[in-house]
Amino acid sequence: MFEVKSYIQQKKQVIDTSLEKILTKSQASETLVKAMSYSLMAGGKRIRPILCLAACEAVGGVSEDAVTVACALELIHTYSLIHDDLPAMDDDQLRRGKPTCHVAFDEATAILAGDALLTLAFEVLATIPVEDGDRTARRLQVIRLISRAAGYQGMIQGQMLDIASEGHKLSAGELEAMHRLKTGALIETALTCGGLLGGADERQMSMLKGYAANIGLAFQVADDILNVEGNPELMGKAVGTDLEREKSTYPSILGVQAAREYSTKLVQSALQAIETFDKHADPLRGIASYVIERRR
């Protein structure tokens, strides 16, 4: 029986340690670095980096580069949270149980800390301790994949749609299209980058993508359900906020029960997509169930 919780715990530790090293290389006394570190080390779940490492292992890889790439994904995810929380966007006060970056510091610092984390992600990706041709080419490919997923045709476009949708009633199809951009694109890239670094062939890559598309959406549906009936203390942020803002969510469109069934169905599809993988894919399988069973 695969112990997914201890797997997640162990990988989270690896990521946290690496992220801390990335930031402490600099002089940590400045306000900017403090704000970056404040949000980066605020106790995130590290889902994206863990998926990246698990995908690398699933195809039989043990690439040391995967940890670096996984950290870059978390830097990008954190920047997007800081900017999404800003007064001009979602205007959130609490994140991971702590005041959001612009509340703890100020708005200008939060904007710049986000900018800096995004830029640092690419610096990290472009820095290779020992250069060799294959590794260099792979890193460039990873930068291409991540910048596309995080950019104006991916995550940022999704955030635009999310903001534009407030107060409007979306159809289930429109909601899905929005989430596929806003969170799905970066989650898919976490898996494809992991696969790429682990040496996946085309068939494996296409299976990883199938897993990713379903798991990304399942993650979002579960998030929506937690916003309705989660425990704010466990989650470290307010619940019921989607309803207040008249956001279209899976529970608001389908009802909570049907939303829960939908998330279960998505997880089954994710598992199906990787069913021909061997036991190296057990972490991916475990994470799939964790995604909808988690309480934060």
Which residues of this protein are in contact with a second copy, per CB under 8 A? 26, 30-33, 36, 79, 83, 86, 88-89, 106-109, 111-112, 114-116, 118-120, 122-123, 125-128, 131, 133, 136-137, 139-141, 143-144, 147-148, 150-153, 156-157, 159-160, 163-164
Instruction: Considering the complex, state which of residue 102 and residue 285 has its C-beta at the smaller distance from a second copy.
Output: 102
d(Cα 82, Cα 115) in Å, to the nearest integer? 9
Comparing CB distances to a second copy, the nearer of 147 and 289 is: 147
H helices present in 25-132, as ranges: 31-40, 47-58, 65-85, 101-104, 107-126
**Is 98 strand, coil or helix?**
strand
Residue 157, token pair as written in the block: 């476009």
Q: Which is nearer to a second copy, 88 or 234 (CB)?
A: 88
Q: Is 148 helix (H, G, I), strand (E, B) or coil?
A: helix
Residue 23 CB, shortest distance to a second copy, in Å, is 9
Q: Could you give the CA distance from residue 264 to residue 268 in angstroms, rounded to a whole number?
A: 6
Number of Cβ within 10 Å of residue 70's Cβ equals 28
* Angle, helix 202-229 to helix 47-58, in steps of 10 degrees: 150
Burial of 1 (C-beta count, 10 Å sphere; 0-12/13-18/19+): exposed
**Residue from 55, 68, 65, 21 nearest 40 by CA:** 21
Q: Which is nearer to a second copy, 152 or 202 (CB)?
A: 152
Query: With respect to a second copy, which residue has the nearer C-beta, 57 or 65?
Result: 65
Q: How far is the CB of 140 from a second copy (least distance, A)?
A: 5
CB of 188 to a second copy, least distance (A): 16
**Residue with smaller CB distance to a second copy, 80 or 214:** 80
- State the nearest-atom distance from the C-beta of 84 to a second copy, in Å: 10
**Closer of 51 and 118 to a second copy (Cβ):** 118
Task: Report the nearest approach of a second copy to the CB of residue 289 (Å).
Answer: 32
Residue 1 Cβ vs a second copy, minimum distance, rounded to whole Å: 41
At closest approach, how far in Å is the CB of 265 from a second copy? 31
> What is the number of other CB atoms lying within 10 angstroms of the CB of residue 175?
25
